[in-house]
Amino acid sequence: MRVFVTGGTGHSGSYIIPELLAAGHEVTGLARSDTAAAAVSALGAKVRRGDIEDLNRLKQAAADSDGVIHVAHRQDLLISGGMNAVAAAEVPIMLAYGEALAGTGKPLVTAGSIGSPGQRYLGRAATEEDPALPVTDAHKGTLHARNAVETAVIGLAERGVRSSVVRIANIAHSTTDRAGFLVRLVALAKEKGFVGYPGDGANLWNAVHIRDVASLFRLALEKGPAGRYWHAVGDGGIPFREIAEAIGSRLGLPAVSIPVDELMVPGYFGFLANIVTQSYPASNLITRRTLGWEPAQPGLLAGLDNGHYFSAR
Ligand SMILES: NC(=O)c1ccc[n+]([C@@H]2O[C@H](COP(=O)([O-])OP(=O)(O)OC[C@H]3O[C@@H](n4cnc5c(N)ncnc54)[C@H](OP(=O)(O)O)[C@@H]3O)[C@@H](O)[C@H]2O)c1
């Protein structure tokens, strides 16, 4: 398959491109700079110059391919406009792909969040059959604002696109993770001198190795039915306190409860405050049964000892 990939220089994309090439696909990666072009080329993909802000270029690239994997994202908008701005920029991108691919049955696979079904409203572990929570005024500015992107992608199935969303676990780890949650939690702990966890730390987080994420993107591209969510979750349901304790044991720092309070939690976690207090139990059963995906890489605790996260000690 001739596959167009965006975000090929990023954490997930830099594993997705080699995964596709190893499976015999021909890959073209988007690059917005000379540095990005060199990185995409070094991975073995062809380079297509462009920016995800240029919708016409994205449409042309999608039309020229047999399938699209889109993992580039407008993280730069988070600081100025929060999650609303990210969603406002990303929905038109998905609709542009829709215009290019409508009626073709070609696959479009994009990234979503494991929290999008809103587990606290479900009151149980989320499955792949739970849609992204509709965005209401109450969700503006929260992580759920980006649910509009997932909903737009799933909606393209009705227009003849084999679209799907890979919901990625909270923590995606590897030896090349530069800006994920684990990196941020370790940095916060070093800065504060202890490892914080919210309240009793019983809220559940999940994790996945980024190489397993890459294999799931490939499987969804190759054989995923249209309009489906997939759960890229390796370790499901790890109490946040255990993650904090594991980080603490490696840094030689205590794990300390942060009272769940409107001053204390943001005081420690900053802009991560409303994310770290949530619980995200999620199943991956439908993904494994439907696509034959099996997470094969080390789990979170082994991942912590991969020599990357604590190499500076
Ligand atoms: N636990 C997780 O990590 C997690 C959980 C849920 C969802 N996700 C989602 O998964 C997706 C992939 O995340 P990631 O961690 O792999 O991303 P990442 O490492 O932050 O990489 C971002 C990529 O987007 C590209 N990009 C940004 N702005 C661009 C623009 N204007 N034009 C072209 N390319 C642009 C970057 O290219 P340059 O090299 O040119 O900057 C880079 O390749 C994102 O949508 C993210 O929200 C991740």
Q: What mean pLDDT comes out for the span 269-283?
A: 92
Continuous H helices in 160-308: 181-192, 210-223, 240-251, 264-269, 273-276, 285-291, 300-304
Q: Mind listing the pLDDT tens digit for each residue in 189-236?
A: 999 999 999 999 999 999 999 999 999 999 999 999 999 999 999 998
| Residues 194, 251: Cα–Cα separation, whole Å | 9
Pull the structure tokens for residue 228: 């489906």
Ligand 1 lined by 12 (C-beta under 6 Å): yes
Ligand 1 lined by 206 (C-beta under 6 Å): no
> Do the Cβ atoms of 31 and 45 come closer than 8 Å?
no
| Residues 108, 3: Cα–Cα separation, whole Å | 10
Ligand 1 lined by 11 (C-beta under 6 Å): yes
Domains and CATH numbers, the chain: 2-177+208-234+285-297 (3.40.50.720)
Helix (H) or strand (E) run with residue 292 in it: none
> Do the Cβ atoms of 157 and 142 come closer than 8 Å?
no
Q: What are phi and psi of 80, to 5 degrees?
A: -80, -40
pLDDT of residue 131: 98
What b/e string do you get for 226-243 counting C-beta neighbours within 10 Å, with b at 16 or more? bbbbbbbbbbbebbbbbb
Q: Mind listing the pLDDT tens digit for each residue in 48-74?
A: 999 999 999 999 999 999 999 999 999
Q: 193: number of CA atoms within 13 Å, CB side?
A: 0
Q: Which of 262, 284, 292, 285 is nearest to 274 (CA)?
A: 262
Ligand 1 lined by 29 (C-beta under 6 Å): no
Residue nearest to atom 48 of ligand 1 (CA): 168
Ligand 1 lined by 232 (C-beta under 6 Å): no
Q: What mean pLDDT comes out for the span 124-133?
A: 97
pLDDT of residue 142: 82
Residue nearest to atom 32 of ligand 1 (CA): 51
- What's the residue count for the chain? 313
| Residues 107, 113: Cα–Cα separation, whole Å | 19
Quick check: helix, strand or coil at residue 61? Answer: helix
pLDDT band at 139 (very low <50, low <70, confident <90, very high): confident
Ligand 1 lined by 111 (C-beta under 6 Å): yes
Q: What mean pLDDT comes out for the span 106-113?
A: 98
Ligand 1 lined by 184 (C-beta under 6 Å): no
Q: Cα(197) to centroid of ligand 1, in Å? A: 26
Is the pLDDT at 313 greater than 80? The verdict is no
Q: Cα(199) to centroid of ligand 1, in Å? A: 31
CA dihedral 168, 171, 175, 178 (to 10 degrees): 90
Mean pLDDT, rounded, of the chain? 95
Ligand 1 lined by 32 (C-beta under 6 Å): yes
Helix (H) or strand (E) run with residue 167 in it: strand 162-168
Could you identify the atom of ligand 1 that is nearest to the CA of residue 208?
A: 1
Numbers of helices and strands, H then E, in the chain: 13, 12
Ligand 1 lined by 117 (C-beta under 6 Å): no
Q: Which residue type does 46 have? A: K
pLDDT band at 312 (very low <50, low <70, confident <90, very high): low
Give the rounded percent of residues in the chain with a pLDDT score beyond 70. 99
Q: Cα(263) to centroid of ligand 1, in Å? A: 30
Pocket test for ligand 1, best of 52, 54, 73 (most atoms within 8 A of CB): 73
- If you search the block for the tokens 């995200």, which residue do you land on? 280
pLDDT of residue 111: 98
Sheet holding 228-232, edge to edge: 46-49, 26-31, 2-6, 67-70, 107-113, 162-168, 228-232
Report the predicted TM-score, pTM, of the whole model to 2 decimal places.
0.97
Q: Mind listing the pLDDT tens digit for each residue in 159-184?
A: 999 999 999 999 999 999 999 999 99
